């Protein structure tokens, strides 16, 4: 159920409706919009008695939301959600494209700084890097853990980049949340409901990657888990799904971008690195993702991909990243977007290039 407040409803009226919902034994989720506030109701099994709600002061109407996902649905919030970061002009969602770039894994301070310097110089606003890695093999590099989180905090200090990193489990979630600006929940954890719920208790943006075989509804239900706990800053990321195609690691499903846009108000990113697994496919698919209407790109960049501890074959060189930025900057206006480059202090040219 959704309570739509009148445009001129006061804070007190909104609060009174929320209190009433709590008294009924349900949970209110006030979602302010440009025109009016809507209050989502969760926790009800059947219909909520709308008569009482409709008679409350400031209420315009009470609507039944028929979709399985409610808070993530566009029925509940018409305008696109924009995730903002205090003390910075970086944002995910909205008119400006967000670019998250960095290595698959943080391997050392030197490696992280060399790559961060180059992606910052090319205009990225967000730095990615795995501290805790979900690896298919238990014998593969599992990440530097806390040491990597500390390195990324230094990267934030030095380059002004916001940090995106994955929380692999409920045990390390709080630690990751302490150090990161955006908490990533990986494809393999998209239906780890305990982890999603716990991330919902945080007040930090959560980036959810689409599961390897997740439908649109399953994807949005993962977002719903986080939002149902009161954390509305959720970002969706398409990263390819498993199909019979064997020319690429995954099949990047760009058609989900407009489909998600229609169904949900949440920001949508595309990861062409995991989406293809091939360096030569990353730039073309990044261009296509922007053309398809994505709110931004998450991409793996490495200055020595041949020596990378993980995902070297899909990591682009810093020079290619700069080209990608230039290309998507040109596509952006065609789809009514911009690519605001960060202005960073000059960084000494590091290794890499191609």
Q: Interface residues with Mn ion (CB under 5 A)?
A: 104, 311
Q: Given phi > 0 = left and psi -120 to 50 = alpha, else beta, which region is 336?
A: left
Q: Is 56 helix (H, G, I), strand (E, B) or coil?
A: coil
Helix (H) or strand (E) holding 3: strand 2-5
Residue, CB closest to Mn ion: 104
CB of 184 to ligand PEP, least distance (A): 6
Query: Residue 239 binds what, of ligand PEP, Mn ion, none (CB under 5 to 8 Å, by partner type)?
Result: ligand PEP
Residues that bind ligand PEP (CB under 6 A): 104, 130, 134, 186-188, 209, 239, 274
> Whole-number minimum distance, CB 287 to ligand PEP, in Å?
20
**Least distance in angstroms from the C-beta of 328 to ligand PEP:** 19
CA nearest 50: which of 37, 63, 39, 38?
Answer: 63
Smaller CB separation from Mn ion, 205 or 240:
240
Owner of token pair 């380059």 = 159
Q: Coil, helix or strand for 29?
A: strand
Q: Is the dihedral of CA 305, 310, 316, 322 positive or negative?
A: negative
Q: How far is the CB of 258 from ligand PEP (least distance, A)?
A: 21
Q: Which is nearer to Mn ion, 40 or 275 (CB)?
A: 275
Q: 3-state SS of the chain: helix, strand, coil percent to 5?
A: 35, 20, 45
> Any bridge partners for residue 59, and if so which?
5
Is the CB of 29 or the CB of 249 nearer to Mn ion? 249
279 contacts which partner out of ligand PEP, Mn ion, none, CB within 5 to 8 A by kind?
none
> Quick one: 53 or 104, whose CB is closer to ligand PEP?
104
For the CB of residue 88, give the shortest distance to Mn ion in the complex, in Å. Answer: 25
């Amino acid at each position: 159920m959704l309570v739509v407040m009148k445009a001129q409803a006061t804070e007190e009226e909104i609060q009174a409706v929320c209190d009433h919902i709590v008294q009924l034994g349900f949970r209110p989720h006030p979602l302010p919009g440009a025109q009016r506030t809507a209050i989502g109701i969760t926790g009800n099994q059947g219909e909520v008695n709308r008569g009482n709600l409709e008679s409350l002061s400031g209420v315009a109407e009470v609507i039944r939301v028929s979709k399985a996902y409610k808070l993530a649905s566009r029925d509940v919030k018409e305008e696109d959600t924009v995730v903002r970061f205090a003390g910075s002009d970086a944002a995910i969602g909205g008119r400006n494209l967000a670019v998250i770039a960095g290595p698959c894994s943080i391997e050392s301070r030197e490696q992280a700084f060399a790559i961060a310097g180059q992606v910052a110089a090319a205009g990225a606003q967000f730095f990615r890097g795995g501290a805790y890695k979900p690896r298919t093999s238990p014998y593969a590099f599992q990440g530097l853990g806390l040491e990597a989180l500390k390195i990324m905090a230094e990267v934030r200090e030095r380059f002004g980049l916001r940090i995106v990193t994955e929380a692999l489990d409920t045990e390390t979630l709080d630690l990751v949340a302490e150090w990161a600006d955006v908490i990533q929940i990986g494809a393999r954890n998209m239906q780890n409901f305990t982890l999603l719920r716990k991330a919902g208790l945080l007040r930090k943006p959560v980036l959810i990657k689409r599961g390897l075989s997740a439908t649109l509804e399953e994807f949005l239900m993962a977002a719903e888990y986080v939002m149902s706990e009161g954390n509305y800053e959720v970002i969706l990321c398409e990263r390819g799904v498993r199909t019979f195609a064997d020319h690429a690691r995954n099949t990047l499903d760009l058609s989900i971008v407009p489909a998600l846009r229609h169904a949900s108000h949440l920001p949508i990113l595309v990861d062409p690195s995991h989406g293809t697994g091939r360096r030569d496919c990353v730039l073309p698919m990044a261009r296509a993702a922007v053309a398809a209407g994505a709110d931004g790109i998450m991409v793996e960049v490495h200055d020595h991909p041949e020596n990378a501890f993980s995902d070297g074959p899909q990591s682009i060189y810093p020079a290619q990243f700069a080209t990608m930025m230039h290309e998507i900057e040109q596509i952006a206006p065609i789809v009514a977007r911009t690519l605001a480059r960060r202005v960073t202090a000059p960084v000494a040219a590091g290794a890499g290039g191609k």
